[in-house]
Structure 1
Amino acid sequence: MARPMGSVRLKKASPVTLAVGAALCIFILYFLIGSSAPDFSASRKATAASHPLSPPTSPFRKTTTGGKLKAPPVAHYNLNDVSTTSQPLENRENILVLTPMARFYPAYWDNLLRLDYPHELITLGFILPKTKEGNEATKELQKKITKTQKYGPEKDRFKSIIILREDMDSPLSSQDESERHKMENQKIRRAAMAKARNSLLFTTLGPSTSWILWLDADVIETPPTIIQDLARHDQAIIAPNCFQRFWNAEKKEMDERPYDFNNWQDSPTALDLAKSMGPDDILLEGYSEMATFRTLMAYLATDDGLLHEEIPLDGVGGAALLVKADVHRDGAMFPPFAFYHLIETEGFAKMAKRLGWQPVGLPNYKVYHYNE
């Protein structure tokens, strides 16, 4: 007898198949909404709402509380509430200290610990290359961080510390001072430095940051009050004078000499040189092969000068530099390309000026560079 059209006989499922299917369904439900699943919402909410650096960047996983799904957190930041004043200590303003690092100098870290600005208001950020020297520097840095943050006295512990590793190859085979300062290495070296600075800046600048102190890893001596001293000027960009201590064989005593020649006031000669250059050529300072006749802040220091005397600058170095966070938020970065024939920190000064921010320098306020 023919079956009616449309009727289908279903094969009876075995008890084993049904048991496996039921177990699988239970496992899936347990994994997704089970009460024993890790509650990531609390940690992500804390990161979003109170982390000193930035909103969350890792995925949010929904969980249940009393059978109700939690919504992903929403972080609110009012940048009008972030002050950047001449009295950062009194106003408890957050400081971001940023350092590109290829070598680790213990004296650099010791100098950081001597800063008398409250460490709970200071975030440290580092970027290191993935080279043999960079790997060694990272290990030494992490040792110091562990000693300070885990075992050190409370007053020495910093608000937070971020370490980035560069994903680009180092343009130079050696970080020796003689190799770093060869004129033919300057464009590729400083382009790489600019990229490192930008990566560090864009990763660590948070909504609560008031000031950024750029401090090179080989600057080993600053006044403990450098943050307050520079901020008291209430300038958008301010640079101290970077010197180097050395043994003077003629005088048979310790002496000091200028080191950073990137803090300068422009000259007609330099401007004329720029007009004759190709679009990708850059002006360099401190080389006899390219005499610019700029006024260098390094040579303006006087023994009887006023410590807080200001001068306007057209170019700045990065050995030590205090910057209002709003300057970077406005878009001033470190060009890794020829920007009006300037690059890296000097290009940053030019870009900041184009945005309406005037850099200034303090010829008689000194910080000191390591002497190799």
Structure 2
Amino acid sequence: MARPLGAVRLRKANSVTLTVGVALVLFILFFLMSSSTPDFSPARKAAAALHPLSPPTSPFRKSAAGTKLKPPPVTRYNLNNVTTTSRPLENRENILILTPMARFNQAYWDNLLRLSYPHELITLGFILPRTKEGNLATRELQTRIAKTQTQSPERDRFKSIIILREDLDPSLYPLATQDEHERHKLANQKARRSAMAKARNSLLFSTLGPSTSWVLWLDADVVETPPTLIQDLAQHDKPIITPNCFQRYYNSKTKTMDERPYDFNNWIDSDTARELASKMGPEEVLFEGYAEMATLRTLMAYLAKEDGEEGRDLHEEVPLDGVGGAALMVKADVHRDGAMFPAFPFYHLIETEGFARMAKRLGWEAVGLPNYKVYHYNE
């Protein structure tokens, strides 16, 4: 019998083909769902905060859509149980890395990802200005964060990440540009360092949680550190400790890559500096590294020994009276005790140098490691 015109004869599907097809559909659905939802281990899920008002350094898991949010829990914290030791890795101590950021540098982020300390114990905190450069940096930072926290293996994802924006009228920002030449003009230092101090304090007070053991201040332009930076600094068990910040550059005289000191805010005080300060008015600030203010302080930047030099020890310590913020490791208890970054002249010092003086007044000492180097981006 003839078939009607246009009729299609269906062939019975093979069972193997159906099985493969179903498996493929299930795989695609699993991939789409898992790519948008971080797959954390049970240990991480158990430690996640149950409410958005929980401490900011605890990762937060969103409730399912349509679920009624429970009231915030009443939680008691015994800070005596928070350890800050020379063996943070063995004791599973939580690290808070804080970075004021005006511009995004990919090398900074890449270096951050290379840190060997377990990322599940690291919380990142950033504060960025509401400027054109700050808006661009925020977008770039958010892009890298989204990729790391959703697409990277779990071991590379950080415990939690917090981004703050400065609540300041853009017209009040002390500098129109973040170019290195403008940033380091002496005439710009008081306004610039005061704004930096306010940003640091806002970031610190908004992110320091009850389980934080150490706070690592890391400059947004620090692009190279040893992967073991956290463990190396913590092993000294000092309240405040800082490495030496250098800068790699091309030496046109030797036609080779070379390095030079960068951070001159790590210093040992001098009689000359104290005498200069004694003659200053109450609102004047003494800045380091300027010919107009020859302090004759001992700068840690110039205490570094060359590679191979006799007696060179990476972990040699020197006491400091002033510190910089390029890479600064602080026991959380120092900040909890009230040591912050003065945005005003504090004994004629301001920001990180003022922080060192304030911490010392509270009984906390600072040390530096002249031969242990981190590297700042060379503009």
Give the TM-score of the pair, scaled to structure 2.
0.81
- Secondary structure, in 3 states, of the residue corresponding to 2:353? helix
2:4 corresponds in structure 1 to: none
Cα 1:323–1:71, aligned 2, differ >3 Å: closer, same or farther? Answer: closer
- Secondary structure, in 3 states, of the residue corresponding to 2:178? coil
Residue correspondence of structure 1 range 221-240 to structure 2 within 5 A: 221-240=224-243
For 1:251 and 1:344, the matched residues in 2 are separated by: 37
- The answer to whether 1:124 aligns with 2:127 is no
| 2:350 maps to amino acid | I
Contact 2:240 2:366 in 1 (8 A): yes
2:209 corresponds in structure 1 to: 206
1:54 deviates by: 7.1
- The answer to whether 1:139 aligns with 2:146 is no
Residue 319 of structure 1 is aligned with which of 323, 326, 341? 326
- Secondary structure, in 3 states, of the residue corresponding to 1:346? helix
For 1:92 and 1:188, the matched residues in 2 are separated by: 40
| 2:99 maps to amino acid | T
| 1:309 maps to amino acid | E
Unaligned ranges ≥5, structure 1: 1-43, 57-62
Residue 242 of structure 1 is aligned with which of 241, 245, 250? 245
Give the TM-score of the pair, scaled to structure 1.
0.83
For 1:337 and 1:45, the matched residues in 2 are separated by: 37
1:171 deviates by: 1.1
Contact 2:215 2:331 in 1 (8 A): yes
For 1:127 and 1:289, the matched residues in 2 are separated by: 32
For 1:72 and 1:299, the matched residues in 2 are separated by: 52
1:296 corresponds in structure 2 to: 299
- The answer to whether 1:53 aligns with 2:60 is no
- The answer to whether 1:193 aligns with 2:196 is yes
Residue 339 of structure 1 is aligned with which of 346, 355, 360? 346
1:178 corresponds in structure 2 to: 181
Contact 2:251 2:257 in 1 (8 A): yes
| 2:92 maps to amino acid | R
For 1:336 and 1:119, the matched residues in 2 are separated by: 32
- Secondary structure, in 3 states, of the residue corresponding to 2:280? coil
For 1:290 and 1:139, the matched residues in 2 are separated by: 40
1:47 deviates by: 2.8
For 1:148 and 1:229, the matched residues in 2 are separated by: 25
- The answer to whether 1:265 aligns with 2:272 is no
Once the two structures are superposed, residues 260-316 of structure 1 have per-residue CA deviations (whole angstroms, 9 ceiling, x without a partner) of 000000000000000000001000000001100000000000023100000000000
1:53 deviates by: 2.5
For 1:76 and 1:185, the matched residues in 2 are separated by: 45
- The answer to whether 1:97 aligns with 2:104 is no
**Which is worse superposed, 165-174 or 324-333?**
165-174
Cα 1:84–1:293, aligned 2, differ >3 Å: closer, same or farther? Answer: same
Instruction: Mark the structure with the bigger radius of gyration.
Output: 1
Residue 307 of structure 1 is aligned with which of 283, 307, 314? 314
- Secondary structure, in 3 states, of the residue corresponding to 2:167? coil
1:73 deviates by: 2.2
Contact 2:55 2:210 in 1 (8 A): no
- Secondary structure, in 3 states, of the residue corresponding to 1:323? strand
Cα 1:159–1:283, aligned 2, differ >3 Å: closer, same or farther? Answer: same
- The answer to whether 1:287 aligns with 2:296 is no
Once the two structures are superposed, residues 126-145 of structure 1 have per-residue CA deviations (whole angstroms, 9 ceiling, x without a partner) of 00000000000001101100
Give identity over the alignment, percent. 75
For 2:269 and 2:83, the matched residues in 1 are separated by: 32
Cα 1:51–1:350, aligned 2, differ >3 Å: closer, same or farther? Answer: closer
For 1:238 and 1:205, the matched residues in 2 are separated by: 18
